Amino acid sequence: MKFDEVLEDIRNGKPVLVYDFDDRERECDLTVASQFVTPEIIQKMRKEAGGLICVTTPYSKAMELGLPFMSDVYWDDCEKFPLLKAMAPTDIPYDRTKSSFGVTINHRKTYTGITDKDRALTASEYAKVIFADKPADEIKKDLGTNFRAPGHIHLLNTSEKILETRFGHTELCTALMYMAGVMPSATICEMMGDDFGSRPKSSVAEYAAEQGIKIVDGDEVIAQWKEFKKTHPEL
């Protein structure tokens, strides 16, 4: 399998699988470009992956629009709610940085927000709104008009320099979106197993072969990202 084939599938709205590292989560995530998310994709993630369905945002875009890390929101409110300080995510076993979780959202045209069609609408419209060719102030207004928080889609903010200080699926999958030339937001979901843990890589590889879904390792994403950044130093 050539890496370009992975990027071509992303451009065509197809899901791909990303394994992080043996010394990190040791998990595979099913991912698709957020702009192409459909109810069928959400249903596939829910039934065949089974983890938490999340949508990524590049750090620069999140900061430009005022979309915070949830840990910062909690920290800023810890004087009023001291328990939030005690619960700070300072001991994540696979990650020395703070959690990438941002706020949670629903599109205002959803009903409960949890159905496949509701989550698909939220994920796809979120990407289209934040990457619209408009000034930041207009995008902020559109976000407030079209989304409510909290909701059923978990936003994830990347680290400031993607794949330099943090090497999670948030960064790996967002990097793939950049390299594919689509809107750089990934909708991701962990592959869960039937033994109450994550689905092993070997089992995910079998699933990928059965489904015709390409799978790529984090090491290869990082290597390709380093080459990509030579012509995109702003990232």
Show which residues are catalytic.
Answer: 29, 54, 94, 106, 152, 190
**Rounded-to-integer distance, Cα 13 and Cα 51, Å:** 20
Distances (CA, A) of 123 to 19, 57, 111: 22, 11, 15
Residues 6+ apart with CB under 8 A from 121: 107, 109, 110
**Rounded-to-integer distance, Cα 107 and Cα 128, Å:** 12
Distances (CA, A) of 219 to 22, 216, 223, 224: 10, 9, 6, 9
Nearest partner of 32 among 12, 59, 57, judged by Cα: 12
Residue found under tokens 């050539």: 2
**Rounded-to-integer distance, Cα 175 and Cα 228, Å:** 9
Interior angle at CA 201, CA 177 and CA 184, nearest 5: 10
Beta strands in the chain (DSSP E): 16-19, 28-33, 54-57, 101-107, 147-157, 186-190, 215-217
